[in-house]
Amino acid sequence: MSSVFPSLAMSKIQLATYSKCRMPHGTGKLQKSPRKYEESIMLYKGVPRQQSSYHTFSSPDEIEMFRKRLLAWYNKCKRDLPWRKLAATEADADKRAYAVWISEIMLQQTQVASVINYYNRWMQKWPTLQDLAGASLEEVNEMWAGLGYYSRGKRLQEGACKMVLEMAGHMPRTAEELQKLLPGVGKYTAGAIASIAFGQETGVVDGNVIRVLCRVRAIGANPTNSAVTDVFWALSHTLVDPAHPGDFNQAMMELGATVCTPRAPLCMECPVKQHCRAYHRVEKELKDSAKRLVGRAASKCSQVLDVEECATPAGSCSLCLPPSEPWDPSLGVANFPRKAAKKQPRTESTATCVLQRKCHEDKPEYLIVQRPSTGLLAGLWEFPSLLLDPGQEKQQKTIMAHHLRAWVGSDVAVGRLQHVGEVLHIFSHIRQTYTIYSLNLDKHEGNCKMEVALPPCRWVTKAEFQNSAVSSAMKKVLKAYEKWSSTISVAKVTKRKRDSLCSSQPVLATESSSSKRQLSLDSFFAPPPRN
C-alpha cells in the first residue's frame, strides 16, 4: 500500500497540522482553513496521490520555506501602491476593506499603471462607503470614464448602497459573505478582500497566481478547465501563510506581475526558483547540453527517472503538458501555463454622427445621447449612433439620416451628411467599427422638443464632453472628427488662395498672348540674317 501511495503516510501528519482552526489577524472569531490538507493532496478526482504529489506541495518543510522566501522578497521589493498603504495603515476595518474592495474591482482586467490615478481621484472624492452610497450613478460613470468595463463602477455604487442601507455601513467579514452579498464580487475578489483587510486565511487565484503555480508545479493542463481551476485553488489554500495571508496573496500576485511574467520571466531574480519544477527542468537541460558540448556522454543516472519528473506514464497525467503540445526547449519556463485558445471577438458595425452647432462666441456644441441602463456601456453618453444589422453597411448613410430626424426636428437630406472616416475599437468580446459622419446644424435646428420615447440627450462643449461619462471609443470618434475637420479647413483655405490667384491670371494671359503675336509679326518682317 505504501508503495502505491508514497505520500499517504506524511499526509496524515499534514492533515493534523492544516485542519486546525486558526484565528486570522484583525478578527475576533476562529475560522477554519478553506480546505483540509488531505483535499489538497487529492487534487483531481480520480488522480492517484503518487501522480498529484509532483504537481502539489507534499512537504510541510518545503511549504514553510516557500512562504519565508516569498514574503522576505515581497517585504523588500514590493511596489509602492496607494491601496497597499491604506490597507497597512488604516485602523478602521470597514475603511480598510473599502479601500481594498475599490482597488480590486478597478484592477479587474486593467493594468496597475492605468488604475493608480483613477484610484487616487476616487478615494479623494469618496473615501468611505457612506460617501459612495451618496453619489449618483452619473457621477460614478463620469469618474470611471476611460477605465473600461463600465459595469464595475455601477456595481460598486450598488454595493455601497446595499451595505449602508442593509448592513449598517459595515463590510462583510469573510470571503464567503463577500461573494454572496456584494454585486460583482467573485471568488478571487472576495478572497483578496478577506485576506488583506480582515486577515482571513484563504488563498486567491488570478492570472498572475495561475502563472506562478503552473511553473512552480509544472501544470501544463488547460488552465481554463474547471477541474484544473480547482487544482489552483487547492494549491493556493495550501500555500497561504496563516500568519500573513494578505501579504502572502499580494506577494504571489506581485511575483507574477513583476518577475514570473508571461514572456521573458526573470528567473534568476525569483525568490522561489528553488521550488520551481519548470526552472529545474531548464537547469537540467542546460547541464545536459554542457556535457554534450564537452564530449561527455550523459551519465547513466540521467537516464533514470528524475526525482522531479511526474511518476505517471507519459500522456496519462491530466495535469502535465499534453502530448499534442510537448515541452519546447526554446520557451523554457514559458512552456507554462499552457495557452488556452482565445475566443475570437464578434465583429459589429455602428454608424455614428457628430452633430454640431454653433453656440456662444461661435464655439461648437455637440449633441450626446445617453445609452440604455443595461447592456454594453450602460448609462454612458455617446454621439447619436446606430448599431447596424448585417448587410446594412451599404445603406448606412440613408439609415443614419433617417435616425437623426428625431434629434434635428426635421428630415435630414442624405447629402448633408459628410463622411468623416472610420474608427476601430476593440472591446473584450467585440470588434467594433464606427463609421463616422458629420452634420453641422443651423441655429434654428436642434432645438426641437424631444419626444418622450427618446433617450436623454444634451448639447455640450468640448470641455463638457471630455468631463462627461463617455467611453474611450467616443473620445476616439471625436478625435478623428477633429482631425478630419482640421484637414477640411486647411483645404478650404488653400482653395480660396488658389481661386484668388486664378482670378488675376486672365489679364496676364492676354498680355502674354499679345506679346507673342507681336513677336511673330516682327519675326516675319525682319530681314534674313547675314552669313
Q: How far apart are CA 13 and CA 3, in angstroms?
A: 18
Q: How far apart are CA 40 and CA 314, in angstroms?
A: 23
Give burial (CB, 10 Å; 0-12/13-18/19+) of 504.
exposed
CB atoms near residue 178 (< 10 Å) = 26
3-state SS of 281-304? HHHHHHHHHHHHHCCCCCCHHHHC
Q: Is 127 left (phi over 0), alpha (psi -120 to 50) or beta?
A: alpha
Q: What are phi and psi of 366, to 5 degrees?
A: -120, 145
- Reported as type and span, the H/E element at residue 218 is none
Reduced to 3 states, what is the DSSP secondary structure of residue 344? coil
Residue 416: CA count within 13 A, CB half-sphere: 18
Closest among 206, 202, 217, 314 to 256, alpha carbons compared: 206
**Cβ contact 193:83 at 8 Å:** no
Q: What are phi and psi of 445, to 5 degrees?
A: -95, 160
Q: Which residues of 233-260 are buried (b: 16+ CB within 10 A; e: fewer)?
A: bbbbbbbbbbebbbbbbbbbbbbbbbbb
Q: How far apart are CA 327 and CA 53, in angstroms?
A: 20
DSSP 368: E
Choosing from 38, 62, 64, 104, which is the catalytic residue?
A: 104
C-alpha cell at 379: 448609462
**Cβ contact 9:2 at 8 Å:** yes
Active site residue 64: no
Closest among 481, 333, 418, 425 to 146, alpha carbons compared: 425
Beta strand extents in 10-66 (DSSP E only): none
Which residues are tagged catalytic?
A: 104
